[in-house]
Each structure stands twice: as C-alpha cells, then as structure tokens.
Chains A and B, each alone.
Chain A
Amino acid sequence: GQQVMQIPQYQHVQEGEDFTTYCNSSTTLSNIQWYKQRPGGHPVFLIQLVKSGEVKKQKRLTFQFGEAKKNSSLHITATQTTDVGTYFCAGHASGGSYIPTFGRGTSLIVHP
C-alpha cells in the first residue's frame, strides 16, 4: 500500500533559525496536504498543493510539491516560539482517494 515517509522526526532549533521538513511518498499523489498540531491540540489544516512543482507561501512558511508529485517540503524562515508543534504531511493517492495517508510528523522545538 501507499507509504508516506516524513523526516526528520524531531528538530530542535534556536529561535530565528530556519526549519525544513520533508515528505516522500512511495506512489504518485493527486495532492498533498500539510497540517499543524500544537502540543495538546488537534491537527489543523494549513494548506493543500495539487500541481506538479507548485510552490505556495503563507507568511514565513513555504510549501513545495515536487515535479513528480511524490515529494513535498515545508520550510519555515526565522522560526518563532509560536511555530512549536508537530507538522504532518498527508497525501492522497492519484486515481481518486477519499482518505489521505499521513506521514509520522516532524516535531519542531524552538528554543528562545
């Protein structure tokens, strides 16, 4: 079945440093979504990428979808303590799928 690998599992950064998490799928995706889960909270939708090579930005967050639609990344510039949490990617298999496959998540810890 489809697998979605996400690395790293944890990342410690000093406030102000950049952060990147990577997501790789074993199969081609129709889209990829990113979610953020704050400590003690529930996953909250951030963004969806659909097109090959697509790049989207949300303030200090940059999301990319690979040309082959099998990988994606989330980059945060100049991290802040409010960025703390676990970031999950979730991919829908191409050909039609109601249910995404979630990566295991990257936990970001920002030290002030």
Chain B
Amino acid sequence: SAVISQKPSRDICQRGTSLTIQCQVDSQVTMMFWYRQQPGQSLTLIATANQGSEATYESGFVIDKFPISRPNLTFSTLTVSNMSPEDSSIYLCSVTPEQGFGDTQYFGPGTRLTVL
C-alpha cells in the first residue's frame, strides 16, 4: 500500500484565481492520477501524471485549465486555473504502487475546493 497526503485539505477561492494542489506519496510509485468528484457523484479522471513528461489528459480536460507537474516518483501537483464556481469539487490524487495492468488504486484524502 501507499500513504498519500494532499495539501491543502480544503480551500475557498475567488472566481478567476488559481489554486495548486500538492500530492505527496511516502514511496516511489509508477502511476499517479488526478480525479475530480463533484458532490454526490462518481470519480472522474482528469489526467495521468507522467514523471518527466506532459500529463495525459482525459476527454474534456485540457492542460491550460488543469496544468499538472510530476517532477519525481513521489510528488505531483495539480493547478486549477482561472477558477469558476463550476470548479467547486473534491480533487483526489491516487496512485498505483505497482507497474502492472489492473492494479489497486490508493487515494489521497482529497482537497475540497469551493469557488465563490
């Protein structure tokens, strides 16, 4: 398993500003992901954070809005840019420690974002 921390745990932001969320893992992991979960909804994958290269974004998500960094195998950041109230959500980092297909995902505690 992996122990994951996220910062901040929650924030209230003004429209038009940006917020960077950090995800730290206690061990090196192959795959890191960023999800969004709106209230009462399922998990929507934003992107796969790739170490040393550009993130792989899912349909409906773009780099300009959600820039992602992954400088090493234990750390990643997600920025929510030019925020609007529609960006209010829980943002979750997850990892798969192993390298194979179909591996278990371990989730961080999440960042609860409210945009006014």
> Taking A42-B110, A98-B96, A99-B48 as contacts, is the C-beta distance between A88 and B101 under 8 angstroms?
no
Query: Is B53 located at the chain interface by the 8 A CB criterion?
Result: no
Q: A42-B110, A43-B107 are in contact. Are A99 and B33 (CB under 8 A)?
A: yes
Interface size on B, residues (CB 8 A): 20
Of all chain A residues, which has the CB nearest B102? A92
When distances are taken between beta carbons in the complex, the residues of chain B under 8 Å from A66 are none
Are the CB atoms of B101 and A90 closer together than 8 Å? no
Interface residues on A, range: 20 to 34
Partner of B101 from the list A33, A96, A107 (CB cut-off 8 Å) is A96
Instruction: Let me know if A44 is at the binding interface, CB within 8 A.
Output: yes
| 5 closest cross-chain pairs (CB), A and B | A92-B102, A104-B42, A42-B107, A96-B101, A102-B43
